Amino acid sequence: MVGYNSAQGGSQVRYIVLTVCLLLMGESLKAQHGTASNGYFPMGYAGDTWTGEVRALDEAKREITLFYKGTKGDETFVGVVQPGYQVKLKDGKVAELKLGMIPLGTRLTVYYMAKNRKVDGRKEKFYEIFRMDFPQS
């Protein structure tokens, strides 16, 4: 006759509960800031990505503002698109991206690197966007 070991049964229950909790936490961690998958990226790229909804576009500054409404509050990311950033159009042609091509409200993942520039003689940090993906919701 096989006996039941209550200590082992309790351990299994704790393991199952822990596993379920970790899975649920993993779902909540699908937030705005992330890391890139494997692939070819520019030298010095640390793997930073940011996913959110396009809230504002400034063609003159080449800035994109992304918004993320999270459970712990709202967050905003502002990045500058690299000069000469090219996209493939629906007709197959390649052209420089005009920010007006991106509708407000579009969900977008940007790949970016922190950089410095001089503005009015002082050093300023900014985020340069070198790649964009349009993830499926």
| DSSP conformation letters of 54-111 | EEEEETTTTEEEEEEEETTEEEEEEEEEPTT-EEE-TTS-EEEPPGGGS-TT-EEEEE
Check: CB of residue 54 under 8 Å from CB of residue 108. Answer: yes
Cα 4 to Cα 68: distance, rounded to the nearest angstrom: 50
- Residue 19: predicted pLDDT: 42
Residue 44 DSSP label:
T
Q: Tell me the percentage of the chain whose pLDDT exceeds 90.
A: 54
Lowest mean pLDDT among 26-30, 72-76, 89-93, 113-117: 26-30
> Averaged over 31-47, what is the pLDDT?
72
Q: Does the global pTM surpass 0.95?
A: no
User: pLDDT averaged over the chain?
Assistant: 80
